[in-house]
Structures are given as C-alpha cells and as structure tokens.
Amino acid sequence: MCDNEVSYTQSTLTFYDEFEIELPINEEKTIILRSMLDVDTKSIKQTADMRCTIYNEALKIAKPMQFPNNNFYELTNIEEKDPVSLLFAHLYYGHNSTGTFEDIIYELCDIVDDILIPYCKYSNNIKFELSGCTNKNHINRINYLNCRTIDEDEIPTSVDCNFIIHNTFKGYVSNLFTFLTLVIEIAFLVLLIIHRKEKCIFIAGFDFLLVIFITNLGITISSFFWIGEISKIKCTLRIWFLILNITCFICSYTTKSIIIISIYNNKKLTSNTVNNNNIFTTFISVVFVQIIFLIIWTFTSQKFDYLEKKIPNVGVYYDKVCSKGNKELFYSIFTINLILAIISIFHSYQGRNIPDEFNDSRKIFNSSLITSLQIIMSSIAISNKNNNLWVQLFVLIMIDFTALVNIIIYIIPKLLTIYNISMDTTSNIIIRNSKQNENLSFEVSNSF
C-alpha cells in the first residue's frame, strides 16, 4: 500500500512527486522508479549539456529508455506486456497475500529480462547448447542461451541425432531386416544340424558348413551394435564382431578352395601335393594376428571422435561419433581381410574348370566377391565423415543381406539334393591308373 514512508515489513511504498516512486527490495535497500517525462517540463531552465548529463546518468542505471531516446525493438514488447502496471496491479489487489513482496519484485524482473532477450535472427553471436539424443528423445533440440526464436523466422530449433534410434523408421527397418535375416539363418542352421549325417553334408564337410554359419551369424549380429545410443562398448564390439567373423569366414573357405584345387590337379592318387597342416597353421596365424591387432587398437584408441557440423545462421557444434583410434592400425586390419579375399578369389578362379557337381570353388569365388563387398561397405560406414544415417542404414542392410547370401550359396544346393529337387543326380568320373594304363569308371551322385 501507499504510505508516507517506505517499509519492507509493512509492504508500503511512497512517491516524491508524480514522476518518482520508491519501492522496498528488502529491509535495507529500495529502488526508485523514475519517469523521463519530466525532463522537458522542469521549471528550471536546463542547457543542452545538462540534459545530456541527465540522459547519460539515466542510461547507466536503467534500460530501456523511452523512445526517442533509444529505439530498440524490444520496447514494443514492453509496451504490450506493461510489467510495471502488472506490478502495481498485484500490489493493489493484494496479490502478495499468496506470494511475498519479494516474489512480486522477482516476477517483474523475470518479465523484463524475458522481454529484453533479443531474437536470434537479429543476433550475430548466438550461444546455444544441444539437449542431446536418447532412445526416447528422437530430436536433438537446440536451446538458445542468449536469444529466442519465433515461428516466423528461419532459425532451426533442432538438429538430427547422430545415431539410428530404435523406435524410428530407420531403426525399425534395420532391426526388422536384421531379425528376419537371423531367423532365416538359424532356420538353415537347424536344417543343417538335422541332416548332418546326410551324404552330401558329410562330403561337403559338416564342420566347414558349421563355420560358415557361425561366422555369418556373427556378421549379422554385429548390425545390432550400430543401432541406439553411442557407447564405447558398442563402438568396440561392432568392429570385433565384424572383423573376426569375416576373417574366419575367408580363411575357412579359402582353405577348402586350396584343398579342392590341389586334389583335382593332382595326377597321382598316392601322393598329396598340399600339406593341410601348413594351410591350417597359416590361416590360424592370420586370425591370431587380427586378434592381436584388435586388442592393441582397443586399448590405444580414444573413446570418441568429434565431427564439426554447422547449423545454418546459428553456428557450429561437435557431433560425437565412434573413434577410429589408430588409423594406420585400423585400416591395416581391414586391408588384411581385403587381401585374404583377393587371395581367395585368385585360388578359386583356378578351379573354374572343375565340374560343378564336385566343385565348391565357384561358390567360394562368389563368396569372395561378396565378402570383398562386405569389407568395402563396412569400411565406408565406419569412415562416413558426415555420419549420414541413410548411408549407415544402407550399409547395415547390405551387410545382413550379403551374410544371408553367403549362407544360401552353400546350404541351398545341399538341401535341394537332400529333398531330391536337383535336376541332375549322377555324373561319371574317369580316373586313369598310370601304372596299369587302365581306365576306372565310377558313378557318383551329385551331392556337392
């Protein structure tokens, strides 16, 4: 209420003339609200220097000054919201019965502060922070710290998340495709185990086919580590699953390709031109080298890299992505797999003249080409500088698809033979005995 004296405890204010009102802030301090309307109506004659002094002193202690002394656009909002009138209305109508006098003063300050925050489209030095992405929050919202936006301006209010979120379109597509691929691969694996004693499975090598399934299942499972929030363990496991399974897959079918070709090209039935133990030792050594490289890479690489990205008309921010760590070592790991695939292509091509019904070399040749594509595609996804999620989604689908195709290449011919669906069931092989100079004729079922 209005009184002759200012009192914080009694919630009173006073005025000195029609242009000055004094309000208590606490028991020791008060503030004076002063209008500039009396500057030109003072009875005392004022020179231009005196008026400039008054304006300068007022400018130091209070903003905004009324037009035309200052003309920034926030004055329109001040006139519309009229915070001082709202203050007096709260005091007059006893609003302080539910809120303290201090709360009413703070409300006035908050309203004025909010009004004086400039629009971002008129600001040059915009400060902002990102809310961050989670599996529940699909949008990485931009929180502007020193300005505000309106619907009419072109200032962005959010940026894309830097990973594929589970419950979004990309997440649904990736998870669904990976899940369906796993179901089909597991179904084929069950059929393989059920028919493991069949002649065609036995001849092709049950252990070999089992390795084919396990490694390609591992490649498919690696896709799950590309979805969801980025973490150190996900960044590590996606590389381990992908590299080790591809390495084991290439080594297994390359070993078989070398053995098949050596047997076919061997002119003597009593000797073996290839030492199987040396082959196994060589490729097992390659796998161990890859494991050692992966261990060194895991413990020497930093957790994350930060890509600089630009928000138009706003500024730049840094996006967290999985780190490649030691790049020389990282790309060496992929290069080893690519070299293995090229070696396998070379060896399997040498077996192109072997009859189809006894030849896995052509299947291995196709698998080598597909695996090379897997290596290149995964390298592209990891080296994706712009962290484009559509590119990442395409690569994940291709990795799953190629893993499934690799399994189909080996298992479908066997299943067709088991269920008597294959067209040609027999073939003849003629083996020449060089000592007795006789031809031995055999009839072999088409089980390869």
Q: What share of the chain is helix, strand, coil (3-state, %, to 5)?
A: 55, 15, 30
Are 155 and 146 within 8 A, CB to CB?
Answer: no
Q: Which of 167-176, 292-301, 311-320, 375-384 comes out lowest in average pLDDT?
A: 375-384
Regarding predicted confidence, which is higher, 130 or 13?
Answer: 130
- What is the pLDDT, as a whole number, of residue 428? 45
pLDDT band at 90 (very low <50, low <70, confident <90, very high): confident
Burial category of 362 from C-beta neighbours within 10 Å (exposed 0-12, middle 13-18, buried 19 and up): middle
Task: Judge if 189 and 154 occupy the same domain.
Answer: no
In a domain, 14, yes or no: yes
Are 227 and 404 within 8 A, CB to CB?
Answer: no
DSSP character at residue 29: -
- What is the pLDDT, as a whole number, of residue 412? 86
DSSP string, 216-274: HHHHHHGGGGGBSS--HHHHHHHHHHHHHHHHHHHHHHHHHHHHHHHHHH---TT--SS
> How large is the average pLDDT for residues 112-118?
78
CB-based contacts of 270, cutoff 8 Å, min separation 6:
none
Task: Judge if 133 and 206 occupy the same domain.
Answer: no
- What is the pLDDT, as a whole number, of residue 313? 80
In a domain, 126, yes or no: yes
- What is the pLDDT, as a whole number, of residue 378? 81
- CA count, 13 A, side-chain hemisphere, 385: 1
Cα distance between residue 448 and residue 445, in whole Å: 9
Q: Which of 84-88, 241-245, 328-332, 392-396 comes out lowest in average pLDDT?
A: 84-88
Are 37 and 26 within 8 A, CB to CB?
Answer: no
- What is the pLDDT, as a whole number, of residue 40? 60
DSSP character at residue 46: -
In a domain, 402, yes or no: yes
Cα distances (angstroms) measured from residue 393 to each of 83, 137, 160, 178, 389: 53, 19, 15, 11, 6
- Considering the entire predicted model, what is its pTM? 0.66
Torsion sign, CA atoms 318, 323, 324, 327:
positive
In a domain, 77, yes or no: no
Are 396 and 223 within 8 A, CB to CB?
Answer: yes
pLDDT band at 440 (very low <50, low <70, confident <90, very high): very low
* Per-residue pLDDT tens over the stretch 353-366: 666 555 666 778 88
In a domain, 74, yes or no: no
- What is the pLDDT, as a whole number, of residue 445? 41
- What is the pLDDT, as a whole number, of residue 185? 92
> How large is the average pLDDT for residues 311-338?
85
CB-based contacts of 342, cutoff 8 Å, min separation 6:
368, 372
Task: Judge if 201 and 339 occupy the same domain.
Answer: yes
Task: Judge if 278 and 230 occupy the same domain.
Answer: yes
* Per-residue pLDDT tens over the stretch 167-212: 888 889 999 999 999 999 999 999 999 988 888 888 778 888 899 8
Which residues span the domain enclosing 227? 169-419
